[in-house]
Amino acid sequence: MSDYHFHVTQIKRGKGQSAVACAAYRSGEKLYSDYYGEVSDYTRKRGIVHAEILLPTHAPPEFSNRQTLWNSVEKAEPHPKAQLAYSFDIALQNEFSMEENIALARQFLLNVFVSRGMICDFAVHLPDRKNGIQNPHFHVLCPMRPLDENGRWGAKQRRVYRLDENGNQIFDKDGQPLFNAVPTTDWGSPETLEHWRKAWCDLCNSKFAEKGLDVRIDHRSYERQGVELLPTVHEGPTVRAMEKRGIQTEKGSLNRWIKATNKMILAAKKKVNALEKWVNENRQSSLIQSLNAYNSMRNAGAYSQTAKVNNLKELTADINFLKANGIKTFEDLQGKLDELNDKIDGFKEQSSKKSARLKEIDNLLIWAQHYAENKPIADEFAKIKWKSKRDKFQAENENALRLYHMAERKLQPYFKDGKLPISAWKAEKLQVQKDFEDIQNQFSAVREDVKKLWQIKYKIEQANNQTKENEKSKRRDTYEI
């Protein structure tokens, strides 16, 4: 499954990190750090399929040795809280072979990083499968300090002195000139990171197109893509720990439902958008004629009468689907796609409302639990008259009393005759969960329509491609004659 992941962090000595140790871990090597006087041995680490150092032309050749390179970086950064390197974690694509992925990663780094004078130490990892899905990715370490034209470490920043409106230097109260520290490179700017992220996305998409694969990735967030998805709920460390141990929680189950729903919305949206683009590019074609041409193409390669009968059944089913949906022309098809888009948006809106209400009910039930558990303590506190005893009791039960009063304030609008509608909330929660299932069942019909149109699109494309090939062949035959 195509995936986009492009994450960058910094290796910082202030966090106890070592550039040498990080390089050893990513490459699966045994390296010695002069700065820390330590050996980092990751030679037993599994899943490392390739490691390589890419150098710009002005870099010292000895930097092709990993231990030499990163000890040089450590030596050039004497400060105990120095920032040492950029660390990238980038997803590779399961649609490409490992050789293709490695070549693609190398091409990207040479074009985008090394061309800027950056050193790249990259390693390709293929960890054990999770849920049967491979997770190929590559790590890149790039020193933050640039090299000068002679291959020596340069400055990360330079001073730009502040000037007044007359162009004169500004001084502080001690007579020292004021200045701004300006980076010597643009490697750390948000604009550069955006350029890098897009460059990797474009390179992968070009490879998809080259291989004739109808998949694409996007470096933009869902929000920037204009795709509004349902937000998940915050789980917290306790819930995450329980889920990690295999214990299913209500929040975990809700998030799994939300993620599954988001996946369906996104997949449907992507296919409908792709269909709309295809419709705009093929309005001159005839839907029925192209389907008939596809059927003839299949029959030409059929080896039995049974295969031809099956082809006819498939053609009839496609034409009946188009007729049932009032689709005769590409304009009609565009109308159907508009209808599907509206249904997808409606599904998303309904799901969003139900999800928000479920979160609200869960929150109310949690506060109701805090209220019930801590009310006896609050009642006991209210009975104490002596100040010294009250102060002691309050100090001993501070958290419980605080939770009680917070819950009381949150739940105040919901009290009726001194009681909370807990049974009603639980019943509504069950109903909302059932509504979720009903909404998903309704959406399955939309997904089937999108799937059917996607299949029809494929058949028409195949027929049109065959027609073009036949025309080319005729022109070649005419030329030879």
CATH of 6-210, one of 3.20.20.140, 3.40.50.11030, 3.90.1150.10, 3.30.930.30: 3.30.930.30
3-state secondary structure of 176: coil
Residue-level pLDDT at 131: 42
Residue-level pLDDT at 21: 93
For the chain, give every residue range classified as CATH 3.30.930.30: 6-210
- Could you report how far apart the first and last alpha carbons of the chain are, in Å? 49
Identity of residue 123: A
3-state secondary structure of 273: helix
Beta strands 179-183 and 157-161, pairing class? antiparallel
Residue-level pLDDT at 117: 92
**H-run or E-run covering 142:** strand 137-143
Please, are residues 424 and 397 in contact by the beta-carbon 8 Å criterion?
A: no
Q: Over 304-365, what HEC string results?
A: CHHHHHHHHHHHHHHHHHHHHCCCCCHHHHHHHHHHHHHHHHHHHHHHHHHHHHHHHHHHHH
Residue-level pLDDT at 53: 96
How does pLDDT run along the chain (481 residues), one tens digit per residue? 456 788 889 998 888 889 999 999 999 999 999 998 989 999 988 889 999 999 999 999 999 999 999 999 999 998 888 889 999 999 888 788 899 999 999 999 999 999 989 999 999 998 865 544 567 899 999 999 999 988 999 888 777 778 777 778 888 888 888 777 777 788 888 888 889 999 998 899 898 888 877 667 776 655 555 555 666 666 666 666 777 777 777 777 777 777 777 777 777 878 888 888 888 777 666 788 888 888 888 888 777 888 888 889 988 998 899 889 888 888 888 888 888 888 888 888 888 888 888 888 888 998 899 999 999 999 999 999 898 998 899 888 888 888 888 888 889 899 988 899 999 999 998 898 888 778 878 888 888 888 888 888 888 888 878 877 777 777 666 655 5
Q: Contacts by 385-394 with C-beta closer than 8 Å and gap 24+? A: none
